[in-house]
Chain A
């Protein structure tokens, strides 16, 4: 199928339209449509993933490319395609959104609107991962915000309104800066590639030839006294860093996560955070290679701060969900460290970490959701001895947390090990110091996760909790596939590394060329 990417992206949209037309009361039908509309993309994406020839992404090439003129007035195109970096994330998205539907069956309030928004969110996320046109990319990037705002704001916890608007404001603040940088890039592309001025591959190519220096902009690209390469790089970076989130832009994340309903937290942690990391790899670093090369060390420092800071703060939390949220900050720090190192291993570690964290943290939020549905609170110190009434839950949680702390045989281990080794390989001696510091984060992460298991499952059983039912089939069904993925990719990492390798290899070549 030539236009398989469009099909994957817009099937949820059709599903959304169908749901909009259904009557409010036919809840079963709505859920069914949602399942089908997320299930078809899952099947197609799985097929795509296993039928993908890794070499299709070599040397900056893209597979399944579609290129149609869209807004001729400014040269924006409907230009989509995938490579080894985006494909695993597309697949991850289809998995998590599909699992997100049954995970949402517990929701009772305005279900029609809920599933419609969920599907719209899926459209936006797919769109970002497949876009090769910066304008299209930006449009999808922003489309995603709206359903997220309502999903947190309507179905969230007690402080949902605050969390929803905070999430929206933070992300928008980043994306308007992004927009300015995109405009500046677009203006320079007018002469370089008049036919496809928004094309990301064309921008990357132009950048590698040293054409995007801002010289053709008024004042030579100076803005507020900063050189073009400086401000454009930081505008792009901050736009994506807020989404990751990188310290110090992370403060929206705990609020959004804690207030969001469980399935939305799962999607937020599993996919939306990846958009930031993906955006950097696709649409920031390779377009500004020189600035990236100069600032890579600062980025790595930010990454390490996120790793260590996130884990320390997680250690101090008593709210189960907040702890998991901060663990995301910590885990996503590896992405920056890995890419910043500019070694193939580092980049592979970073890309793999995105996938691994997408599965493990999603599962962790499901763990929190399971207990919250029963106890209606998330105070870690309020539980204890739950291993007796809920043995299955205990077992799955343990696997899940092991995945989170990077136990060998889990995908998280491979990702973190690759990242750290890759960073250690760097020619720059400072990276080796950073690796040593980030080891602290690894240790603390293990500490808070194990401590959480101890507090929740071990010790004396609180009488209140002794009648709790164990996980039901729906909950197990949602969580187990994620854990299987963690284990499979932990044991056979080449299943994913082979897919990513050619594209990442090319990326690293581009980035290291920025130094010359």
Chain B
């Protein structure tokens, strides 16, 4: 049963992510992404990562997705015209994209299936409750946690730098 569900969800995730990049309608893309997130969350649950699954749904499936939808609707990207520069499915580039994806798939199979089981993961499955996670996050992984906060700080400033209008420059000239 669990195996069947895993494969179903895996298939769903793959189809969902394919739809994200192939769909011409941004709304469809966003919704497919949502579906993909749900499939992934289920897989996390199956592996015993309750917290991760919940976070996945809350943060990605909830907050971020709503943000995406807002952006798409506000910017009114409903129907891109042909050749408007958003044409990622360029015929010339397709072979490269396929080659790259095929390589990743082959690497994955070689990497994971090449040896049967992933021993490290077996141990991890036991420690996925929120309490354990908190212990790790504020215990042995305190430093990366803090580093991540600096990272987010930097990212926030970076985004503002890129987004703000060059007002001062306009005034100067």
Q: Do chains A and B touch in the complex (CB under 8 A)?
A: no
Give the interface of B toward A (CB within 8 A).
none
Give the interface of A toward B (CB within 8 A).
none
